[in-house]
A = this chain, B = another copy of it.
Amino acid sequence: MNIKKSDFSEWYNTITKDAQLCDLRYGIKGFVVFMPWAVMSMNRMYAMYEQAVESRGHVPALFPALIPEEYFTREGEHVKGFIPEVFWVTHAGDTKLEERYAMRPTSETAMYTMYALWIHGVKDLPLKIYQRCQVWRHETKATKPFIRSREFHWIEAHDCFATREQAMAQVREDMEMAEEVIHGHFCVPFLFFKRPQWDKFAGAEDTYAADTLMPDGRALQLPSTHMLGQNFSKAFGIKYTDDKGKEEYVWQTCYGPAISRIYAAVIATHGDDKGLVLPVRLAPLQVVIVPIIKEETREKVMQRCKEVANAIGCCFFVKIDDSDNTPGFKYNQWEMKGVPLRIEIGMRDVEADSVVVVRRDTGEKIKVKTSEVDAKLGEIAGSIDKTLRARADKWFSDKLSFAEDMDELGKKLELHGFVRVPFCTDGMEAEKCADIVKDKVQANIRGSLFGSDAKPEGKKCISCGNKATIYLYAAKQY
């Protein structure tokens, strides 16, 4: 790769092509082919996320990909938010359909129509259902593979509760899952923001979204979880009879971790100037063994490679690369693909009864006794994930800053990702203040930091100059 990561946009495009993560040459704009190396990691990501979702009481279901137009129109904000992005099915075979169908851009309207039929009493609550599926949105913004495309792969969980408190507890549980999976397993840091009212999910009362940062300091939204309140339950008639025989509307939440986009964050967070760097758990191939072969010692070296592969095959996905390419070519190739561990074995290593282990994350070369290779490799692998997470966390925490007026914000944005600023409010009436920020420093207001109770005392809104009542965070965004 001739591109440095500091030139992030070019680097990202190059790596998705050179590491064969996707192919952009498919005949529909914004639709990419997800290639095996990426899909193998995404499948692991799905498995870990589904495990988190199911261990918290969700069960899987599958709802149709097509949604009757009429379902959409029942919730006013929702229909306004999504209709402009919908792909419409109008014909089947030679026949024009009586009603057109939307390819799901998200499944609230499909699922809640059924929920109204399924929920009767308190016994039916909580209802916690998720599905693993694709959604389609006719994005008008520029698409970028995995980050923003017109077809993406996600999990959506849709839950119903008897009370607002239970729904809010679910929102916090959704955040906890993001921490466990995205930060814990995938080693990607983020912050949860409560989005301002003008930027919430269409139909929600409140939206809480996890934002990470790309290497160029721009924010990328990872999963969001939405407090839907009773907006949808009233529109779709999802009611239950309480203990006193009274009919009540349920309280709802929904949660949408987009696996394809989180994969983009994994690429961007960990990758370096040599290519992809993958957490051990996400690597399709975890250890590549490269034999250093001279013709006269071929047999002995290959024999040792096989012994080592056998010794570690129980715990790792291992491949011996015995292709005709030079060792140097192989090193580059597997570094590009992000294989976490490389083992080099030549005749000298055979004689010394040792192997050389090379870490992808640090480049460190470690001499290991052949007899200890399995134990030692487990140790190093554990250390790789820790190193990736610590490195990412460190970088991320340096990208937080503060500003108290527009000039300072502009300057801080050059060096940092998120900049905290005093703001008049996060209600609808402040949207014009956010527009001013966008206009003057090309940044978006991402919301208030969830869980923080810092309040501006005696400060002024950076846009309108009125009394500031809240701290909000600004960032350039994807």
Q: A residues touching B (Cβ–Cβ < 8 Å)?
A: 23, 25-28, 31-36, 39-40, 42-43, 59-66, 68, 70-71, 83-95, 100-101, 103, 110, 113-114, 117-118, 129, 134, 136, 138, 140, 151, 153
A114:B33 contact, CB within 8 angstroms:
yes
- Given known A23-B114, A68-B27, A114-B26, contact A62–B33 (CB-CB < 8 A): yes
A88:B87 contact, CB within 8 angstroms:
no
- Given known A84-B93, A92-B88, contact A65–B114 (CB-CB < 8 A): no
A65:B27 contact, CB within 8 angstroms:
no
- Given known A43-B60, A86-B93, A88-B90, contact A66–B31 (CB-CB < 8 A): yes
B88:A136 contact, CB within 8 angstroms:
no
Write out the residue numbers on chain B whose beta carbons fall within 8 Å of the beta carbon of A103.
Answer: 65, 89, 103
A62:B87 contact, CB within 8 angstroms:
no
- Given known A33-B62, A36-B59, contact A89–B88 (CB-CB < 8 A): yes
Write out the residue numbers on chain B whose beta carbons fall within 8 Å of the beta carbon of A114.
Answer: 23, 25-26, 33
- Given known A36-B59, A36-B129, A114-B33, contact A26–B64 (CB-CB < 8 A): yes
Q: A43-B60, A90-B90 are in contact. List 16 more A-B contacts (CB 8 A).
A: A26-B63, A26-B113, A28-B101, A34-B63, A36-B59, A36-B61, A65-B151, A66-B136, A86-B92, A86-B93, A88-B89, A88-B91, A88-B92, A90-B91, A93-B138, A103-B103
Q: Which of B25, B33, B59, B62 contacts A61 (CB 8 A)?
A: B33
Q: Which applies to chain A's interface (DSSP): helix, strand, loop or mixed?
A: mixed
Most buried by B among A32, A87, A129, A140: A87
A39:B68 contact, CB within 8 angstroms:
no
Write out the residue numbers on chain B whose beta carbons fall within 8 Å of the beta carbon of A91.
Answer: 87-88, 90, 100
B34:A62 contact, CB within 8 angstroms:
yes
B94:A66 contact, CB within 8 angstroms:
no
A65:B136 contact, CB within 8 angstroms:
yes
**How far, in Å, is A92 (CB) from chain B's closest CB?**
4
Closest 5 CB pairs of A and B: A92-B138, A34-B62, A36-B59, A31-B64, A88-B91
Write out the residue numbers on chain B whose beta carbons fall within 8 Å of the beta carbon of A42.
Answer: 62
CA distance A138 to B90 in the complex (A): 12
Write out the residue numbers on chain B whose beta carbons fall within 8 Å of the beta carbon of A100.
Answer: 91
Residue of B nearest to A153 (CB): B62
- Given known A93-B138, A114-B33, contact A64–B101 (CB-CB < 8 A): no
A25:B117 contact, CB within 8 angstroms:
yes
Q: Which of B28, B31, B65, B138 contacts A134 (CB 8 A)?
A: B65
Residue of B nearest to A62 (CB): B34
Write out the residue numbers on chain B whose beta carbons fall within 8 Å of the beta carbon of A118.
Answer: 23
Write out the residue numbers on chain B whose beta carbons fall within 8 Å of the beta carbon of A88.
Answer: 89-92
Write out the residue numbers on chain B whose beta carbons fall within 8 Å of the beta carbon of A95.
Answer: 138
Write out the residue numbers on chain B whose beta carbons fall within 8 Å of the beta carbon of A64.
Answer: 26, 28, 31-33, 151
**How far, in Å, is A217 (CB) from chain B's closest CB?**
30
